[in-house]
Amino acid sequence: MKGLTSKFKAVGALMTLALILSGCGEEFLSALRPQGQGASDILSLMILSIAVMMFVFVVVMVIYVFVILKFRQKKGQEDFIPEQVEGSHTLETLWTVVPIFLILILAVPTVQYTFSLVDTSPQVSAEGEEDQIWINVTGKQYWWHFEYDGMDVTTSQELYIPTDRRVFLSLHSEDVIHSFWVPTLQGKIDVNPTGNRNEIWIDAEKEGVYWGKCAEFCGPSHSLMDFKVVAVSPGEFEQWVKDMRNIDPEATPESEVAAAGQEVFANNCMSCHANGTSPNKIGPNVSNFGDRERIAGVLEYNKENLIEWIETKGKDMKPGNLMTSAAYDLSDEELEQVAEYLMSLSPSEITPENANDNEYIESDLSDLFVDEEKDESSQEKSEEESEEDSEEDSDSN
């Protein structure tokens, strides 16, 4: 039973290790500091596997150190011939059978989580099936687009989700393979341009802005394809959705400069960049550009960066991005105006700031789902899409 005690010791040591690990990295980015169910489940599996593996490692190292110290050739031993042992059935059986058991210990939760992490069927409680929030995620070189299924909301780069419930994602790519990864919330899943449309859920246990990354190599600006997940309380989320679906892209901004910018935007940018709910996703949707945390996902949010981006089309700020093929040519004044306009776009009172305050507004979001049933057109749209999904799913199977 000596092995067992040392194993318990190893587990104890690992609890300490887990504590140390939790100091590793930033709260908004590190997989070792989970903020959602998915990442927590995975971390527990990691810790179990580290525990099992550390047990093996310690056994190996103890024998290793002992052997090196004990059996090194000593002076005067040059002619000594050690016994030529062929092997030992007992020992060899031991180190075949024990690892098999260790692997079984690891295999059971592995299989369990492998299924649960991608299980996107609705959770059933006493009140019946839950209403699911489905978001269609599109990955493009080098930005992300989000369409809230049945809610008539589209946005890019920053994904707003309510806390304390699962949000379901259906992902596909319009060019090369990307991978959607929010380390603090869930493991990653590939975003494929063909075949299967992958599905996964994410959830956040508390409010916050969590960083997302593209994890599948996708070209020169792969390392700059960041996005954010803005987790706000359910009530705030409900408010956000209502604000976002009621955007009037025609509304004239208050400041004159911004109003002039709106004109410039309409003449030069609108064919690719939509404001408000729109199927247009040639370039990122700018509906709530004024509330963004970052410009183009990575740059610090300020006017200088924005103007430089629009002027250079991000040529050096995000190498290889597809905006460089846009044909516009703006004067300095126009650049100033359009930047002012974009930064004035703040249709909702819910912004990333709400994710960082301590205000928590309750809601069961039932309003959002009631609307969905009323809203015939979006209902149809979602049906179409789910048909497409199931077709593709059966293909991939």
Tokens 């080098």 label which residue? 142
Count of CB atoms situated within 10 Å of the CB of 215: 18
Nearer to other proteins, 79 or 376 (CB): 79
Tokens 């299967």 label which residue? 196
Q: Is 82 in the site for other proteins (CB under 8 A)?
A: yes
Q: Is 190 in the site for other proteins (CB under 8 A)?
A: yes
- What minimum distance in Å lies between the beta carbon of 137 and other proteins? 13
Selected from 11, 17, 22, 25, the binder of other proteins by CB under 8 A is 25
Residue numbers 289-308 binding other proteins by CB under 8 A: 298
- Which range touches other proteins (CB under 8 A), out of 149-157, 220-228, 276-284, 330-338? 220-228
Cα distance between residue 370 and residue 304, in whole Å = 43
Q: Is 356 in the site for other proteins (CB under 8 A)?
A: no
Cα distance between residue 190 and residue 199, in whole Å = 10
Judged by CB under 8 A, the number of residues near other proteins is 98
DSSP 122: P
Selected from 153, 169, 224, 286, the binder of other proteins by CB under 8 A is 224
Q: Is 313 in the site for other proteins (CB under 8 A)?
A: no
Half-sphere exposure of 211 (CA within 13 A, CB side): 17
Tokens 């600006």 label which residue? 221
Residue type, 41: D
What are the phi and psi torsion angles at 140 (to 5°)? -140, 155
Cα distance between residue 135 and residue 234, in whole Å = 16
- Which range touches other proteins (CB under 8 A), out of 38-46, 126-134, 254-262, 344-352? 38-46
Cβ neighbours of residue 3 under 8 Å, at least 6 residues apart?
98
Selected from 15, 60, 251, 370, the binder of other proteins by CB under 8 A is 60
| H or E segment to which residue 16 belongs | helix 2-22
Q: Is 335 in the site for other proteins (CB under 8 A)?
A: no
Residue numbers 89-148 binding other proteins by CB under 8 A: 91-92, 95-96, 99-100, 103, 106-107, 109-119
Dihedral sign (CA 303, 306, 311, 317): positive
Q: Is 221 in the site for other proteins (CB under 8 A)?
A: yes
Tokens of 247: 């955007």
Residue numbers 232-271 binding other proteins by CB under 8 A: none
Count of CB atoms situated within 10 Å of the CB of 238: 21
Q: Is 154 in the site for other proteins (CB under 8 A)?
A: no
Selected from 35, 138, 154, 179, the binder of other proteins by CB under 8 A is 179
Q: Is 203 in the site for other proteins (CB under 8 A)?
A: no
Nearer to other proteins, 266 or 322 (CB): 322
Tell whether omega for the bond before 142 is within 30 degrees of 0, i.e. cis.
yes
Q: Is 217 in the site for other proteins (CB under 8 A)?
A: yes
Q: Is 73 in the site for other proteins (CB under 8 A)?
A: yes
Nearer to other proteins, 252 or 312 (CB): 312
As beta bridge partners, residue 179 has 190
- Helix, strand or coil, per DSSP, at residue 392: helix
Selected from 146, 181, 309, 341, the binder of other proteins by CB under 8 A is 181
Cβ neighbours of residue 251 under 8 Å, at least 6 residues apart?
none
Selected from 120, 219, 303, 365, the binder of other proteins by CB under 8 A is 219
Nearer to other proteins, 319 or 373 (CB): 319
DSSP string, 304-353: HHHHHHHHHTTTTTSTT-GGGG------HHHHHHHHHHHHT----S--HH
Nearer to other proteins, 223 or 366 (CB): 223
Q: Is 193 in the site for other proteins (CB under 8 A)?
A: yes
Nearer to other proteins, 4 or 81 (CB): 81
